[in-house]
């Protein structure tokens, strides 16, 4: 059982205890009505009030624990993600020689990485990212984001010459998007993956100057774990715990050119 599951179990026990306290308070109040002695009846009524107050405390504790208490637990026991990076990219040129009278050799280069990104089944926030939240996590359900456009240059409003395939070397990659119906202060996150391994991220409360809608939103990654390597990349944007949009691109190794050799037989 992980920390999140344990917190949920404790919150459920607190709710059950609150219902038991309410039931005991009702029974105690009913018993007090049957007692003819004033002082004893008053004591029973006072105990009923204490039980009701204790039930209210348990209800509040059950609400506070998963919303406020969980980040405090992660500060004491911080999770430690260990991304495993083992990309293996090989560029295998295949030269097929067909000597003829016209002397036209054929050169075929087959890169090991194809421009066909694979889909991530269900985007989710890692616990290590949730532990860094500093703002509310309940976004506007009507908040929308456009598709992410990628480029190695950004003019302050839009990515320059966006595309889905890039070649090394790369210094910084930008992902631009437009947005609407966002709420300032709500935590938002952008997670960068390479071959489904987290390599870069940013998470912070949505700034007031960004407003509730506009153009020119972007996320950037300049120092991914392991550096920029050939592979399939994916960027997922969340508002709170809700993912809003996904973008994908491919990074290819620098293409090499071969020098064909052939023999002419008259």
Q: Is the pLDDT of residue 45 over 80?
A: yes
Q: Does pLDDT of 114 surpass 60?
A: no
Residues with Cβ within 8 Å of 43's Cβ and at least 6 positions away in sequence, in order, are: none
- The pLDDT of residue 258 is 47
Instruction: Compute the distance between CA of residue 172 and CA of residue 159 in angstroms, rounded to an integer.
Output: 12
What percentage of the chain exceeds 70 in pLDDT?
79
What is the H or E stretch that residue 24 is in?
A: helix 3-33
**pLDDT tens per residue, range 202-231:** 999 998 888 899 888 999 999 899 999 999
Tell me how far apart the alpha carbons of residues 6 and 84 are, in angstroms, rounded to a whole number. 27
CA–CA gap between residue 230 and residue 22 (Å, rounded): 62
Euclidean distance between CA atoms 51 and 256, whole angstroms: 78
Number of Cβ within a 10 Å radius of residue 205 = 15
Q: What are the DSSP calls for 108-145, one per residue?
A: EEEESS-S-PPPPSS----HHHHTT--S-----TT-EE
Cα atoms found within 13 Å of the Cα of residue 92, Cβ hemisphere only: 6
143-153, pLDDT tens digit by residue? Answer: 999 999 999 99
What is the average pLDDT value for the chain, to the nearest integer? 82
Amino acid 104: pLDDT = 58
pLDDT-based confidence at 88, cuts 50/70/90? low
Q: Are 54 and 20 in contact (CB under 8 A)?
A: no
Separation of alpha carbons 137 and 67, rounded Å: 9
* pLDDT tens per residue, range 226-254: 999 999 999 999 998 998 999 999 999 87
């Amino acid at each position: 059982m992980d920390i999140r599951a344990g917190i949920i179990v404790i919150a459920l026990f607190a709710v059950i205890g609150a219902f038991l306290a309410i039931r005991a308070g009702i029974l105690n109040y009913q018993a007090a009505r049957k007692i003819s002695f004033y002082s004893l009846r008053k004591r029973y009524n006072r105990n009923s009030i204490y039980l009701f107050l204790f039930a209210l405390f348990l209800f509040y504790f059950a609400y506070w624990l998963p919303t406020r208490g969980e980040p405090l637990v992660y500060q004491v026991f911080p999770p430690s993600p260990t991304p495993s990076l083992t990309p293996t990219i090989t560029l295998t040129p295949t030269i097929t020689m067909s000597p003829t009278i016209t002397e036209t050799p054929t050169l075929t280069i087959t890169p090991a990485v194809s421009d066909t990104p694979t889909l991530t089944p269900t985007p989710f926030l890692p616990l290590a990212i949730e532990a860094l939240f500093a703002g509310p996590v309940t976004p506007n359900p009507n908040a929308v984001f456009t598709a992410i456009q990628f480029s190695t240059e950004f003019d302050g409003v839009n990515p320059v010459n966006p595309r889905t395939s890039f070649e090394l070397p790369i210094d910084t990659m930008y992902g631009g998007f437009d947005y609407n119906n966002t709420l300032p202060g709500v935590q938002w996150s952008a997670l960068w993956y390479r071959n489904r391994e987290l390599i870069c991220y940013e998470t912070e409360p949505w700034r007031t100057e960004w407003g509730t809608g506009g153009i020119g939103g972007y996320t950037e990654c300049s120092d991914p774990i392991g550096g920029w390597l050939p592979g399939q990349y994916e960027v997922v944007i969340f508002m709170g715990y809700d993912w809003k949009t996904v973008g994908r691109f491919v990074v290819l190794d620098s293409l090499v050119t071969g020098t064909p050799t052939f023999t002419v037989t008259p």
